[in-house]
Amino acid sequence: MDNKLTVRYIAGLCLNDVTKSKDWQTRVIKGEQKFLIRLCNSLRVDFEDYGLRNLQAKVLAQALMLLYIAESDQLLEIMELLADDITDGEVTLVDSNLRALIYFIDMIEDEAMIKRFNIYVPVILRAILSAFTNEELGSHGREQVLQIFYGCLRTISWADGIDNELVGECLDETFNQWMSVFLGVIQTDANKFFDIKRNALKCLTVIFRDFINYSREGIAMILRPAWKLMTSHLPIFTEV
């Protein structure tokens, strides 16, 4: 079976409604994790076809989610492998892994699941920071990176002022670099990369709204250029 047929076959299995049933989740928790781990590793392949990459990402995200539900000890190792691919892989593989992370993080909704995601955040933030600086990634890829960054912030914002040590463990390593990235984004030509700037401002809003304690020192650096960016784009929305 070639790679395309393999992905379609696996997708049919993993995206079937049965994966959403309580019985399937129970089976995964009881020990059917080896298949999912092999599945995650087998999906670390390169596809040129956009449709296959998107399908690949959805399958991978579903497998990651089932391992997350099962609280698998090996999920962190898998996430580190995906992070390595995002950092050093071909652009098409980087793209599919970014999509998978977006789908995966979007599925983490209830409070209990959100509050145990923090161990993966530093791994993800290191990888996507590297991806953002990859010149081959393109503007859409950078939009995806910022979407993932936003999703990661969402999973740890509850801890600001409650468990500041947890926040620090997640953000300390890369926070200053991210702030430099945002500063660079919002200071570029006002007529270029509007969607990237919009996502950057979305992330900054979360940082300064939901991380009041942690972000206190960074606000002075970013406030003036952020205000300048917003006022420069105001005519776009007010012109008749």
CA nearest to 44, candidates 82, 80, 9, 4: 82
Q: What pLDDT does 212 receive?
A: 87
Which helix (H) or strand (E) covers residue 174, if one does? none
CA dihedral sign of residues 183, 141, 123, 114: positive
Question: Higher confidence at residue 19 or residue 98?
Answer: 98
Most confident of 1-15, 32-46, 115-129, 191-205: 115-129
Name the DSSP letter for residue 21. S
Task: Name the range with the highest mean pLDDT among 104-108, 138-142, 190-194.
Answer: 104-108
- Using the predicted structure, report yes or no on whether residue 163 has a pLDDT greater than 80: yes
Could you tell me which residues come within 8 angstroms of residue 82 by beta carbon, excluding any fewer than 6 positions away? 40, 44, 97, 100, 101, 127
pLDDT (tens digit per residue) in 113-130: 999 999 999 999 999 999
Q: Which residue did the predictor score with more confidence, 111 or 3? A: 111
CA geometry: angle 204, 210, 212, nearest 5 deg: 90
Which pLDDT score, from 0 to 100, does residue 226 have? 62
What's the mean per-residue pLDDT of the chain?
Answer: 78
**Confidence at residue 93, expressed as pLDDT on a 0 to 100 scale:** 84
Pick the closest to residue 182 from 136, 150, 138, 216 (CA basis).
Answer: 150
One-letter amino acid at 106 equals D
The pLDDT, as a whole number, for residue 26 is: 54
pTM for the full predicted model: 0.81
- Residues 215-237 have a mean pLDDT of 61
Does pLDDT of 71 surpass 50? yes
- Assess whether pLDDT exceeds 50 at residue 1: no
Contact 208, 215 (CB under 8 A): yes
138: nearest Cα among 89, 180, 95, 177? 95
What pLDDT, on a 0 to 100 scale, did the predictor assign at position 106? Answer: 94
Q: Which residue is associated with the tokens 């919002």?
A: 186
> Which token pair is 45?
């392949």
Per residue in 76-117, pLDDT tens?
Answer: 998 998 899 899 888 888 888 999 999 999 999 889 999 999
Q: Does 237 have pLDDT greater than 50?
A: no
**Which one-letter amino acid corresponds to residue 9?**
Y
